[in-house]
Amino acid sequence: MKIPVFYTPKMVVNFSNYSPSAGKPAQVVAAWQRLGLSLEILAPVPVTADELKIAHSPEHVDRILAGEKANGFGNKFLEVAESLLYTNGSMLSAAREAIRNRKVAVAPCSGFHHAGYATATAFCTFNGLMVTALALKAEGLVNRVGILDFDVHYGNGTDNLIGHHHAEEWIEHYTAGREYHSARQAGDFMARIPEFVEEMRDCDVILYQAGADPHINDPLGGFLTTQQLRERDKIVFETANKLGVPIAWNLAGGYQVDSNGEIPAILEIHNNTMLECAAVFAC
């Protein structure tokens, strides 16, 4: 199969900010296309305000989209608000496709797991993981959803929303940032990855955050090497495939920016994730 990647330039906004994530999708997809892999670039269906309100406070959604309340980047830019419909739509479109093809789909987006019911913070405005899980449930596509969060930071917004919606019985959530932070923990983390995935064996889809910020040189991360990150993703994909659980993955965090404002280290990590994905799923 070709690896389905849900991308549109409408996901991208370029402005000066500590996080490169708003502009990252275009660079990442271009880097993937240079790898010569069998990819299919598909336009995501943007989420609607009503779909966002399945997860979030209606007032919060309306004020963000109207530019009346600061988004997760701390600004009120309408172009950022518009892009959020497509980044969240990318995650939901990828999950629908992974369920359909029973294998995998990719959402080259970030900025989800710190967003709570009525809060936007830490580069996260709407929680696309929970927007996706709740929309899939409402559509009758799933009974159980796994959220496997390997961003380096604790997915506090996801936990907030799971609690708010009383979804503990049908969402299996693991966030590595709750317990893994230092290089001395790397060996234990790597050894436990199959266990984390296998806990989701009864889920209808896994939403996987393949974060680049656990890299040991990331200014906001710091416990895995480039090779360990690649092995992390290899294990995740191989285990999910063995279990027969579809997986939809995204980019999550990554903050290594060089002196020229470029992100070569981040691109290498995301390239490696795609290479491992293709090695398991592409035909």
Q: How far apart are CA 77 and CA 66, in angstroms?
A: 9
Residue 102's CB: how many other CB atoms inside 10 A?
11
Q: Stretch 143-160: mean pLDDT, rounded? A: 98
For residue 283, pLDDT beyond 80? no
Q: What is the DSSP string of 52-120?
A: HHHHS-HHHHHHHHTT-S--TTS---HHHHHHHHHHHHHHHHHHHHHHHHTSEEEE-----TT--SS--
**pLDDT band at 261, cuts 50/70/90?**
confident
Residue 115: strand pairing partners: none
| Secondary-structure breakdown of the chain: helix, strand, coil percentages, each rounded to the nearest 5 | 45, 10, 45
Give me the pLDDT at residue 18, please.
Answer: 75
Instruction: Choose among 254, 213, 178: nearest CA to 20.
Output: 254
Q: Stretch 201-209: mean pLDDT, rounded? A: 98
Q: How far apart are CA 52 and CA 82, in angstroms?
A: 13
Q: How far apart are CA 283 and CA 281, in angstroms?
A: 7
Q: What is the DSSP string of 139-152?
A: TTS-S-EEEEE-SS
Q: How far apart are CA 188 and CA 168, in angstroms?
A: 26
The residues spanned by each domain of the chain are 3-281
- Ramachandran quadrant class, 83 (left: phi over 0; alpha: psi -120 to 50; beta: rest): alpha
Which residue, chain included where needed, has tokens 């997809």? 29
- CB neighbour list of residue 57: distance below 8 Å, 6 or more residues apart: 117, 118
What integer best gives the mean pLDDT of the chain? 96
Q: Stretch 94-118: mean pLDDT, rounded? A: 98
**Would you tell me which CATH number, out of the four given (3.40.1280.10, 3.40.800.20, 3.40.50.720, 1.10.1040.10), belongs to the domain 3-281?**
3.40.800.20
**Contact yes or no for 255/213 (Cβ under 8 A):** yes
Residue-wise pLDDT for 55-105, tens only, equals 999 999 999 999 999 999 999 999 999 999 999 999 999 999 999 999 999
For residue 121, pLDDT beyond 90? yes
- H or E stretch at 241: helix 226-243
Residue-wise pLDDT for 231-240, tens only, equals 999 999 999 9
- CB neighbour list of residue 138: distance below 8 Å, 6 or more residues apart: 54
**pLDDT band at 257, cuts 50/70/90?**
very high
Which residue, chain included where needed, has tokens 């996080």? 19
Give me the pLDDT at residue 282, please.
Answer: 86
Instruction: Give percent of the chain above pLDDT 90.
Output: 93
Give me the pLDDT at residue 17, please.
Answer: 75
Instruction: Choose among 96, 98, 80, 109: nearest CA to 45.
Output: 96
Q: Stretch 19-47: mean pLDDT, rounded? A: 95
Q: How far apart are CA 74 and CA 78, in angstroms?
A: 12
Give me the pLDDT at residue 75, please.
Answer: 95
Give me the pLDDT at residue 19, please.
Answer: 81
Give me the pLDDT at residue 130, please.
Answer: 98
